[in-house]
Amino acid sequence: MSLFPIISPGGGGNSYVCDAVVFDGTNDWIGRASNLTGVVDGKSATGQFSVKMGASTDGSAYTLYYNGGGYGELQRLASNKLQLKFYEATGQVIKLSLVSTTSIVEADNWVTYTWSFNVATAAGQLLRDGVDDLASSTLTDEDLAFNRSTHTIAGHDNSSAQFLGEIADFWMLFNEYDDIGTNVANYFLDGKPTDPGATGTNFTGTQPHLLHHLGAGEGTPDTNYAANAGSGGSMTLSGALSVAGTSPTD
């Protein structure tokens, strides 16, 4: 399901603004020591994040999302490409993989990635700033390991592969696919990401399981960004976040 593009009352396009937060690459990550509420193993998912890589990060791997045992991971690889991958339920074989064409490097400033897949229909999309950026994919029709004992953002659940840089809105919706290429204006419009709404339902009409967001000028990111506004339940911050000096909506 998809909604109409988000247009300002005056018809001027995308007026959305948000703040971003800084992850220090050592102490800062957000996690949950149980499965996300309502998440079951399945074949489809949709998500989006905006990111700015930190200093001297080119050529090293950094994790943006990780679930228990690494059965699912969203990672900026050492090759500087982005990869989203999920194994089947036993964790033996990768059944879903989306890899970017374009590298994500420090010099990029802000970039926004939107992705969606349904392995049952061999559908997989990866957009960078609203444009197709999918270099390669694996889409095998089998249930994927979504239901895991931990879920973390900006690092592994064992405090490794911590992310160094800045992240703005980050959200993930399991068990739902959207044709993001056709409906791109719902996600990225006028050169920046669009407003998720208070609970993230502006994108597909369904509240995502994970939604981490900091409103412009909202402050106190340890509370406001680290808290999960999605339906998947509470998340806990390790470390201390600060408000970034810029955001993808500037």
User: What is the share, in percent, of the chain residues with pLDDT greater than 70?
Assistant: 95
- Which residues, in sequence order, are CB contacts of 12 under 8 Å at separation 6+? none
Model confidence, pTM: 0.94
Name the pLDDT band for 1 (thresholds 50, 70, 90).
very low
- DSSP-derived 3-state class of residue 184: helix
pLDDT at 2 over 80: no
DSSP-assigned beta bridge partners for residue 63: 75
User: Is domain 18-243 annotated with CATH 2.160.10.10?
Assistant: no
Count of CB atoms situated within 10 Å of the CB of 135:
14
Closest Cα to residue 187, out of 202, 172, 166, 209? Answer: 202
- Residue 210 C-alpha from the chain's centroid: 9
191, amino acid identity:
G
Closest Cα to residue 221, out of 4, 5, 19? Answer: 19
pLDDT at 206 over 50: yes
pLDDT tens for each residue of 187-200: 999 999 999 999 99
What is the distance between the alpha carbons of residues 96 and 86, in angstroms, rounded to a whole number? 5
pLDDT at 49 over 60: yes
Closest Cα to residue 181, out of 102, 124, 96? Answer: 124
Closest Cα to residue 127, out of 94, 157, 87, 82? Answer: 82
pLDDT at 136 over 60: yes
Q: In a 10 Å sphere around its CB, with 0-12 CB exposed, 13-18 middle and 19+ buried, how is residue 86 labelled? A: buried
Cα 128 to Cα 74, 82, 231: the distances in Å are: 15, 10, 26
What's the whole-number average pLDDT of the chain?
94
**Per-domain residue ranges for the chain?**
18-243
Average pLDDT of span 231-250 = 97
What is the distance between the alpha carbons of residues 6 and 186, in angstroms, rounded to a whole number? 6
